[in-house]
Amino acid sequence: MVTKIITQIVVSFTIIALTFAATIYVLPSFIELGTSAGELLPIIMIITVGAAAATGLMLARTVLLPLRKLAEGSKQVARGNFRSEFHRGVINKSRLKNADEISRTVLTFEMMRRKILELEKNLDNSIKSKHLDVQQINDQLIQKEMVLQRANAKLVGQREELQRINDELSSKNMELSQSNEKLQKLDKMKTDFILIAAHELRTPIQPIVGSVQLAEKGMISSEEAWKSIVVESKRLSRVANYILDVGKIESGTFTYDMKPIGLRQLLESVTSASSKLASEDGVITINKEVDNDEVMIVGDKERLLEAFGNLISNSVRFAKNGTITIRTRSNLEQLLVEIKIIDDGPGIPQEILPLLFSKFVTKTQENERGTGLGLFITKSIIEAHSGSIKAENNTASGGKGATFTISLPIQPQRITSTLAST
């Protein structure tokens, strides 16, 4: 089957041949009329060329133009440009059937281009849809991540809170353990105090009852019995006063009558009745070394006498045939005076030294007893006078015994007048 393009070419060449044949056929007629062949040749050439040109134009319209469109469109497609059209208008089966091969190729190429554009559009829509889906998934993931972060932060906060609670519980447990130990110590100290207090109360009562019974039987004189009763009664009164004073200190009803007092006068009162105190094993000598006779303090004389008396009594109890020294050192610039009470006894046991001024603290040795309240009362009295008290053994200085150091403020008016007079 001959294609349409070949048919058009054959028709074109047939027209040229017929035109040339017709010209040759008409040529003898013109020669008979007296026209020469040289004159007719240009006419023949013009007719022939015109026919050839018409045929070429027809072939160019039919073949070359569609091929040029196809070539240009192929370049655009190769560059990825599917927007350039090869043919405008509707393309259907009837048009494809009636078109020649080149036109059909162009139309087919145009259909392919349109299909690609449609696919590209569908692909773009699909990509956009997938992009939206991915964006939604990403947003959901971000929300989930935020939820997880909040949950994690909450868990971290709960963990920190649990750690804090655990630390608090550990601290409270330690405090409870320490408090329990303190309570056990206090309970033991109270038990010891009760035993000691019972002994201290019973100790003076037995000699009193014994002296009365001996005097009734005439085994001792009434005067001897009376002396024993007086001594033991004072001892009984001292124990009772200790217990009462502790109760007043803890309830805040321990009162003071503050007045100016000369330091030397106070120390003279302390030692006046006890310059030589008899102990069970011998005699104790008390020496005073006052550095400034003009020093004045403000305080309750009776309470201070009680405090110093407790210290000296404590030193006398443990000093054996030794000496107790009371030494003062005044600091006029700082308005403080230190009073040291030094003994040459065995010293303070190390196990009770840190708790020496607490209640019920005592050290029982052979023939030595105490309530464990005297130093507690003494510390309370000194602190009520804005002072301080401490105790240490003399081993650091190479000696023996112990030293109690009391610091008290000096009355500034008296110091000012003293400095002015000098």
Residues 277-336 pLDDT 10s: 544 445 677 888 989 888 999 999 999 998 998 888 878 776 666 788 899 999 988 899
User: Most confidently modeled of 75-84, 374-383, 395-404?
Assistant: 374-383
Angle at 207 between CA 321 and CA 216, to 5 degrees: 135
Residue 216 burial class via C-beta count within 10 angstroms: exposed 0-12, middle 13-18, buried 19 and up: exposed
pLDDT at 41 over 90: no
CATH number at residue 221: 1.10.287.130
Return d(Cα 87, Cα 106) in angstroms, integer: 7
Cα(210)–Cα(200) distance, integer angstroms: 16
Spatial CA neighbour of 422 closest among 298, 332, 289: 332
User: What pLDDT band is residue 44 in, cutting at 50, 70 and 90?
Assistant: low
Q: Name the residue range of residue 407's domain.
A: 255-421
Work out the pLDDT band at 406, boundaries 50, 70, 90.
Answer: very high
Q: What is the mean pLDDT of residues 214-227?
A: 85
More confident residue, 57 or 34: 57
Among 46, 67, 84, identify where a domain stops.
84
Contacts of 29 (CB under 8 A, 6+ apart): none
Q: Both 314 and 403 in a single domain?
A: yes
**Amino acid at residue number 156:** V
| pLDDT at position 9 | 62
* pLDDT tops 50 at residue 260: yes
The per-residue pLDDT for 109 is 73
Same-domain pairing of 389 and 265: yes
Report how far apart, in Å, the C-alpha atoms of 360 and of each of 205, 213, 252 are.
22, 34, 19
Mean pLDDT of 141-148: 90
Q: What is the pLDDT of residue 60?
A: 57
Last residue of a domain, one of 219, 245, 271: 245
Measured in Å, how far apart are the chain's first and last C-alpha atoms? Answer: 154
Written as six digits, the tokens of 201 are 């109360």
E runs forming strands in 241-312: 259-262, 276-278, 283-289, 296-299
Range in 42-56, 185-199, 217-231 the model is least confident about: 42-56
Residue 52 falls inside a structural domain: yes
Pair 318, 370: CB distance under 8 Å: no
- 267 and 394 belong to one structural domain: yes
Give the rounded percent of residues in the chain with a pLDDT score beyond 70.
Answer: 65
E-strand spans in 168-275?
Answer: 259-262
pLDDT greater than 70 at residue 340: yes
Does some domain include residue 398? yes
Last residue of a domain, one of 212, 245, 278: 245
Give mean pLDDT, residues 215-243: 82
- Does 2 score more than 50 pLDDT? no
Please check whether residue 306 lies inside any domain of the structure. yes
Q: Which residue has the higher pLDDT, 39 or 327?
A: 327
Residues 261 and 227 in one domain: no
Is pLDDT above 80 for 145?
Answer: yes
75-84 average pLDDT score = 67
Question: What pLDDT, on a 0 to 100 scale, did the predictor assign at position 329?
Answer: 94
Residue matched to tokens 């008296």: 414
User: Are 323 and 344 within 8 A, CB to CB?
Assistant: yes
Place of tokens 């000093």: 319
Mean pLDDT of the chain: 77
Mean pLDDT to the nearest integer, 61-65: 60
| 275 vs 406, higher pLDDT | 406
Q: List the one residue out of 372, 342, 375, 345 whose CA is nearest residue 360.
A: 372
Sequence-ordered alpha helix ranges (H) in 356-421: 374-384, 412-421
Query: What local confidence, expressed as pLDDT, does residue 278 receive?
Result: 44
Query: 188 lies in a domain?
Result: yes
Q: Which residues pair with 298 in a beta bridge?
A: 260
What is the per-residue pLDDT across 83-109, written as a single tens digit (0 to 9) for each? 666 666 677 667 667 766 666 777 777
Number of C-beta neighbours around residue 408 at 10 A: 24
Q: What is the mean pLDDT of residues 120-127?
A: 80
Calculate what percentage of the chain has a pLDDT beyond 90.
13
pLDDT of 337? 94
Quick one: pLDDT at residue 417? Answer: 46
Helix boundaries (H) for 33-100: 37-59, 65-78, 93-98
Q: Is the pLDDT of residue 245 over 70?
A: yes
**411 within some domain:** yes
207 and 240 assigned to the same domain: yes
